[in-house]
Chains A and B, each alone.
Chain A
Amino acid sequence: MAVGKITFTKTEREKLAEVLWLLNWISVVTGAILFGLGLFLKIEIQKWQEVMSEQGILYVPHMLITTGLAACGINYVGSKICLDCADTNKFLRWKLVMMPYIVCTFFFTACVLAGALMCYSIRSQLEEALYLGLRNTMRFYKDTDTPGRCYLKKTLDLLQIQFQCCGNTDYRDWFQIQWISSRYLDMTNSAVVDRVRSNVEGKYLMDSVPFSCCSTLSSRPCIQHNLSNPGAHAHYDEQSQQLNLWRRGCQQALLDHYTGTMQSIGLTVLLIWLFELLVLTGVRYLQTAMENVIRLGDPDSESEGWILENSLAETACYNFSIIKTLGKCYQVDDDPNINVPTAAADQEAPSAQVQVNVTS
């Protein structure tokens, strides 16, 4: 029992070929869009790669870029095939290529789906990478004279200004690290020396934050120092405290930004996948219809097209048995019913023949 059987007249076959030719060209454009989306995502991730501990999530844009390029190539070939399929004579040229082409397209469409699903599953990996990366960046904020870390201060400042965030989870993260380098501390000052000595690891910790944490929405000039002591500032009430600095942590801000971007990209890729599936189904129908026409012999007659010749279960069994026998090519079978010619039998046969010749 064939799956999805439809009967096609000659005109219907020709129309199907024309429509598929157009759809294949549109698919080339969507393939280019896929490539562009992958490129855009790669650039977005590389912009802030310094605050990520590992760039493992780069496999998502790489996947999108390769499938985009593959889409352009496969659909270009597909459009050429479909253009020729309207005519039975020209179809014969492509007859042998059609089946491998459809199998290729099927796997490629599965890759597009995998790419779309990857976009949605990235959150937990990103969360971990951002937490560790931001922690390290904050620790190396003061090391503007160490090669390899010179620009971490600038990157983190620009990040906090652009994404309107402060610290890793909260602005209090800045209280736990020394973010002013020792070369800008006056070690002859007793207050400074006391503070350094009172800390177990000899770090100069303060309840202050860098200027990039300051909120532009505040109605009063920014208060950066003595944040744990609201009484040190004139009329520093609860509302002023809320508006003074950015409240969000940078990990949350970046996570929201990237998941938002990836979700929109994932949605677009899913739509492209549905479109590709439609094109694949159309090409399969065209292929089976043309093959049946050739089998019937009359180019003008009606023919049937289907997705699968037998039911799903039968096709699955058939394919599994093919795969099994592929593996059994070089093995000796232990089945007693099979006649395996042995070496002794070979020697017996020629000697019997010789005897017969002599006697006759």
Chain B
Amino acid sequence: MPFLSLKFNLQKRVKLAQGLWMLYWLAVIVGIILFSLGIFFKIELRKRSEIMDNNESHLVPNLLILVGMLSCGLNAFGGKLCHDSLDPQKFSKMKPMLRPYMLLCCGFNALLLLLVLLCFLMQFAVYLTLAEGLKNAIRFYKDTDTPGRCFMKRTLDMTQIEFRCCGNNNFRDWFEVQWISNRYLDMSNDVVKDRVLSNVEGKYLMDSVPFSCCNPGSPRPCIQHHLTNNSAHYDYDHRTEELNIWNRGCRQAVFSYYSGIMNSIGALLIFTMAGDVAGLKYLSTALETMADPENPECESEGWLLEKGFKETLADLLSKVKTFGRANQVEEGGTSPNVTAT
């Protein structure tokens, strides 16, 4: 008993072929979208590789670009197959390519599933790289004269302005590093000397933040220095002041941006894993089982699997078993392979 069989007459076959053809071309467009999404994601990772310590993983965008190209090719071929299937001459030429094509499609779907899993799992890797990278970026903020770190200040300032965040976890991360270089400190000043000497590692630490932490939406001009000292500013309480500087940490802000991109890519991939294979199987079996090939008007039957689900599974298992036994000598005469000789 065929699995999930349906009866088809000429109109139904034509409708199925036309519907599948449109679906395949839609899938080509989705493939192009996946390709461009892959490129976009790669560029976004590259743009901010400095705050990710330059060792972020490009596995997901590279795979996405590959999947996009494969999807375009496979689905264009599938569309051509559907278009040719209604012409008996062309269909007989295409028949031998049908089975390997459907196996390829199944393999491609498995690749898509793997990519979806990667999209959701690689977010952990992005989070960890961001945490490490931002910590180093804050430490090297002042080193604008060291080769390899010249642009760290610029990148971090632009990140804090763009993502509306301050510091790694929050603005207090800036209190623990010296973010003003020694060459801009007046070492002859007593206050400066005291502060440097009072620190164990000789660092000039302050309770101040850079200007890029300032919130433009604050009703008062930005207070950057002496943030924890209420008496240094008129009518200022650092415990209740929320609008002065950004409260969010940059790790959280940048991570939500990237996780948003990866989640949407994952959702689009799930949407792409459509049942193209099922439709094509129905169409090909419907065309093969035509009782009278010369008469296009006759009815035919289409199905997903020739035998029932359990029988097909048993068949497959036995095939796999005999595949392994092909080179072994059989003792009994019950195996059909031995009787062939």
Contact = CB atoms under 8 A, between A and B. Distances in A.
B220 A144 contact: yes
Contact of B211 (A154, A179, A180, A224): A224
B224 A186 contact: no
A211 interface: yes
A221 B178 CA distance: 12
Interface string B166-182: 00000000000001110
A221 B179 contact: yes
Contact of B185 (A153, A189, A234): A234
A145 interface: yes
Interface of A: 144-145, 150, 153-154, 157-158, 161, 179-181, 183-186, 189, 210-212, 214, 216-217, 219-222, 224, 233-235
B184 interface: yes
B183 A211 contact: no
B157 A216 contact: yes
Nearest to A181: B220
The 4 closest A-B pairs by CB, nearest first: A157-B216, A234-B186, A144-B219, A219-B144
Contacts of B216: 153-154, 157-158, 161, 212
B184 A186 contact: no
A221 B180 contact: yes
Contact of A221 (B184, B214, B217): B184
Q: How large is the interface on B (under 10, 10 to 19, 20 to 34, 35 or more residues)?
A: 20 to 34
A216 B153 CA distance: 8
B219 to A, nearest CB: 4
B84 to A, nearest CB: 30
Contacts of A212: 214, 216
Contacts of B214: 211-212
B294 interface: no
6 contacts: A161-B161, A183-B235, A184-B234, A186-B234, A189-B234, A221-B179
Interface in B134-177: 144-145, 150, 153-154, 157-158, 161
Report which residue of A145, A153, A161, A216 has the largest number of chain B beta carbons within 10 angstroms of its beta carbon. A216
A220 B144 contact: yes
B212 interface: yes
Contact of A219 (B153, B222, B235): B153
A216 B221 contact: no
Contact of A211 (B145, B219, B224): B224
A222 B211 contact: yes
A211 B222 contact: yes
A157 B221 CA distance: 10
Given A184-B235, A185-B234, A186-B234, A221 B222 contact: no
A-side interface mostly: loop
A161 B144 CA distance: 21
Contacts of B181: 220
A186 B235 CA distance: 8
Contacts of B219: 144-145, 150, 153
Nearest to A224: B211
A221 B221 contact: no
B250 to A, nearest CB: 15
Interface string B183-227: 111100000000000000000000000111010110111101000
Contact of B184 (A158, A184, A216, A220): A220
B298 to A, nearest CB: 42
A216 B158 contact: yes
Nearest to B160: A216
B218 to A, nearest CB: 8
A222 B150 CA distance: 16
A246 to B, nearest CB: 12
B321 to A, nearest CB: 63
Nearest to B143: A219
B234 A180 contact: no
Contacts of A157: 216
Nearest to A232: B186
Contacts of B183: 235
Contacts of A154: 216-217
Contacts of A221: 179-180, 184, 210-211
Given A210-B221, A214-B211, 9 more contacts: A144-B220, A180-B221, A184-B234, A211-B214, A212-B216, A216-B212, A219-B145, A221-B184, A235-B184
A158 B338 CA distance: 83
Given A157-B216, A161-B161, A216 B154 contact: yes
Nearest to A144: B219
Contacts of A179: 221
A184 B158 CA distance: 29
Contacts of A234: 184-186
Nearest to A180: B221
A185 B233 CA distance: 9
Interface in B210-262: 210-212, 214, 216-217, 219-222, 224, 234-235
Contacts of A219: 144-145, 150, 153
B269 to A, nearest CB: 31
A131 B220 CA distance: 25
A349 B184 CA distance: 116
Given A222-B211, A234-B185, A184 B220 contact: yes
Interface string B78-120: 0000000000000000000000000000000000000000000
A16 B220 CA distance: 69
A96 to B, nearest CB: 44
A285 to B, nearest CB: 39
